[in-house]
Homo-oligomer: A and B are copies of this chain.
Amino acid sequence: MKKIYAGLIGFGNIGTGVVRLLDMNRGLIEDRLGASIVLKKIADIDIETPRDAAVDKSILTADAADILKDPEISIVIELVGGYQPALSFMLEAIKAKKHVVTANKALLATYGDEVFRAAEREDVDIGFEASVGGTIPVIKALKECLVANRIKSVLGIMNGTSNYILTKMSDEGQAFAEVLKEAQRLGFAEADPTFDIEGIDTAHKLAIVLSLSYGKKVEIDSICREGISGIAQKDIEFAKELGYKIKLLAIARERGEEVEARIHPTMIPFNHLLANVNGNFNAFHFVGDASDSVFLYGQGSGMMPTASAVVSDLIDIARNILKGISRRVPARARSEETIEDIRLMPMEEIVTKYYFRFSAVDRPGVLSNISGVLGANDISIAAVIQKGRRLDGAVPIVMTTHESREKNVRKALKEIDRLDVVRDKTVLIRIEDENGQ
């Protein structure tokens, strides 16, 4: 049986999963591929600590160059993570005409353009299914399955940690800080959780999705981004009362020549599929102009689910190698030179629905004051909840709006927060209730 040689750089959690999966399903993979994938070398700075995978010690090396310079190795699996030395390894592999499989979203979101151009120049494949949504076939869906569609919109829960926290807050009524602490104890959240809870990890994934759906690249920092650390239990309760769940969504939409892209806590109706994505699962809701809604759901992280995506990329590239070809589907599903820049719509121009929680002094005329400012700013109210119950000495007044422009909302809230009768900064959460259309 023909052998295809691969080298793994980065023998951490996912790397261990890849070794285990190639071993566990060896026969099945050989049957399906008609060839054998041989992991010839594994490089890691730590080759001493035992891993939970059967590995012949002789293939371990502390020097990535042993893989990058091995002419027999045709596929390099980069699972180092971070920007450097991962980027150097990747570019060196490409230069040596080796195909690359990676799960490195941060790197691709930031340096993808450079990597993809180099791959085109050297005529090699880059597999990055594992970089977005773990085991969920998001990349293949966009590059192949929905290839005949203009993507009208994307709504996604792209970070398992923040979804786990929001699910716990919603199901068990605990405060954000409490749930975070527990998640850290259980290993579901990092010691420094900023990347996950502030939407940075989500932004990396959204940037990759955008570059496959709408064009070249976006600067991560140009995407409007709000995390979940400001979500209070009372907003989760009011959301329930209004028929919504709060999820950290990444949202992208075609808006004429521009693209709307944003990441923030979002209220979605109970019966929306995304509202039923719980715990650390991820999900993606695409709307294509022909396909209509396509919803994909699965484990966005974890050793074996992510390894499943890495190995599917390995097999995809191996199938090319066996046919003597490469770049049957280019890294971004089209020739690099035809990819246009993305024109992001300024956040101020976004039109959506809003939830506001005002913290007001319980005095006659307050409601009229607030609604007056909203009306003057062309914001029309859909629902109001005012129950007179006191929270921290002030009365919460909750309102939802019809479609309004972000610019007007920001201006109105600035005015409202300056009113004498308003105690604290108004809480704003955006609403999506059109089932992603």
Contact = CB atoms under 8 A, between A and B. Distances in A.
A293 B289 contact: no
Nearest to A286: B298
Given A25-B148, A305-B290, A296 B295 contact: yes
A297 interface: yes
Interface string A279-307: 00101000011111111111100101101
Contacts of A271: 276, 278
A19 to B, nearest CB: 12
Interface stretch (A2-10, A181-189, A321-329, A425-433): A321-329
Nearest to A323: B325
A296 B273 CA distance: 11
A150 interface: yes
A147 B40 CA distance: 21
B329 A319 contact: yes
Contacts of A309: 145, 291
A329 B320 CA distance: 9
Contacts of A137: 137, 140-141, 144-145, 294
Interface stretch (A75-83, A234-242, A333-341, A414-422): A333-341
A129 interface: yes
A363 interface: no
Contact of A304 (B25, B292, B294, B304): B292
A174 interface: no
A288 B308 contact: yes
A227 B324 CA distance: 48
A288 B319 CA distance: 21
Interface of A: 17, 21, 24-25, 28-29, 31-32, 34, 129, 135-137, 140-141, 144-150, 271, 273, 276, 278, 281, 283, 288-299, 302, 304-305, 307-309, 311-312, 315-316, 319-320, 322-325, 328-329, 333-335, 338
12 contacts: A24-B290, A32-B147, A32-B333, A32-B334, A129-B145, A148-B308, A291-B299, A291-B309, A294-B296, A294-B298, A295-B297, A323-B323
